[in-house]
Structure 1
Amino acid sequence: MAFRRGGRVLLAFVLAFCLSATKLEAQLHKGYYFKTCPQAEFIVMDEVKKAMAADIGLGADLLRMHFHDCFVRGCDGSILIDSTPDNTAEKDGRPNNPSLEAEAFEIIDNAKKRLEAECRGKVSCADVLAFAARDAVVLSGGLYYEIPAGRRDGRVSKASETLTELPPPFFDLNQLTWSFARKGLTQDDMITLSGAHTIGQSHCSSFNNRLYNFNSTFGQDPSLDPVYAAQLKQKCPNTSSGANQQVPMDPNSPTTFDTSYYGSLLAHRGLFTSDQALMSTPVTAQKVWENAVNGLAFQKKFGEAMKKMGNIGVLTGSKGEIRENCRVVNGFH
């Protein structure tokens, strides 16, 4: 009888959780701006397209910016807020500065300016960023996926929180799995979202310990392909200036959203410790292999994982605000 009572309690808890999750899903929905600002997604796409035509590398910044926004305080556009004399904001936290280009933030500014002229006070900065990240994937060769919208903007942004909430490039598999689980994402979601590393660049400082100072036994990470390591050493000399150099995260196709990243992992050519960590167990290695050999399935999974990530900690209804200027909270001048 005790087991049956416990089962009823557990069932009630699960039902309550599912109902709350369904309510959250209902608050964000496709076509959210269909009546209030029908041109919203077209305007954002137009600005992303113009910027990426001039510098295709900005797509990776937009994608990373959305990820970093969602993992700190939820997908509330707080990464877009500028620092003030009294507060260092997320965008100036070590994981974001200097890795995110100023031009990427300007894309959001330009889109927001046009949106305010078109439909004042209707489209949140958080939604603009979510749309822009999706558009960056599409314009880099990835599949289009629908973005449920209706997020509102947060009013708090702290650089210190980027250090505690964002998984660093030296995390192992267990640490990565824990970091994503905290945000309601599965290990499979984590492996799928890591595929974003198929575009963009990294500063050598994020991985040069694997080349020169891995641990007390090995100077060079033994899991790193020696030929690839030699190539990286040429581009990232063991000097202070070398640490500031940049290399593609996926050297085979650094501006194309494809499955080459996973092929690199199979060849022991993952750039970060956290990349190669995806090969740590037979289960995760199988997921990597599946993504590497079936590009269409990966692309579909990636869109679904991005939509799931885009629901983290969202502000809806009367919570938060819709910022007039994505760089400052309303009422602050």
Structure 2
Amino acid sequence: MLVFRLLMILVGLVAGYAAGRALNMSGPNSEMFLVNTVSLMLAGALLAFLVTPRLEPLLSRSFSGVRRWYSSLAPRTVAAATFGLIVALLLSVLVSNLLASLPIYSWPISILVTLVLAWFFVNYSVQHADAFGLLASQQVRRKKGSKVLDTNVIIDGRVVELAKAGFLEGELLIPSFVLRELQLLADHSDAQRRTRGKRGLAVLEELQELRPLRIDDWDEPGLDKVDDKLIRFARETGGKIVSNDNALSRIAKLQGVEVLSIHEAAVALKPQVQAGDYLTITVSKGGQQQGQGVGYLEDGTMVVVEDGLKFRGKPLRVLVVNNVQTNVGRMIFAKPDQAA
């Protein structure tokens, strides 16, 4: 903010000089003109010095908003908009020269023509940003069909089975910051984290034997969280994120990034249990309400049995009453089979 304060003081000096010139009555070479101008310049600089600290918070918020907006733009979008603006400026020069011979022509018409051409060509270029991918840097060109793997899905390991089954088409991308996170976990002092990191590296080695795997040397130092970097990387490369993190999936989808959620796929492939079906479970503990019993299916689905606590530890045939999908998984509500 020091640069901003110095700039504002310079603006105060210039404003004071301009005010001195405007109020001068005795000629620019008179001593009175010099004294008045210096006084007004000092007054402008001091006023800027007093006002600037009060303007800094407002301007800081405004600049932060603009910076976040600009950072959210994909490089190919910026490249496309810049190309469209260049074309608009070149055409405006040609059109202005053609219109200059008309008697009604004036400089406001030239500005209006430039603005109309800029609006049209910038919008058209942004809407067809994919066609301008070669204008962006080589590092962030769109890779159609590529899949970006996050840290959690690598450690999970099920991505290997998906690759074997042929469900992951296109190039598999591993950003360099994801690989560094796995390396940090593998070298961590905590045994559990160290095990997770080593498992992730082993999964990558197994994937490399099955499919082409590319480590992309991309990073964004301005972003602290790995999830934010992952979303930015996927947006800039045009790839789809493969993840089992529900929070990451929601944030990415809100920002227009496609996500292939292994968790959602696993839930969708679970066998559906309908009301009226019969199940045999073992009640293992009590529920939240009095007399309720809780058991689990082989896939881990929770079954809440009405008045089932008295059958704890015994196989019990139950009638499914309701089947509910929640954020944490599927829950089945049942009651003991009276016939049994």
What TM-score do you get using the length of structure 2 for normalisation? Answer: 0.26
Higher RCO, 1 vs 2 (CA within 8 Å, ≥6 residues apart): 1
Q: Normalising by the residue count of structure 1, what TM-score does the alignment of the two structures yield?
A: 0.26
| Higher strand fraction (1 or 2) | 2
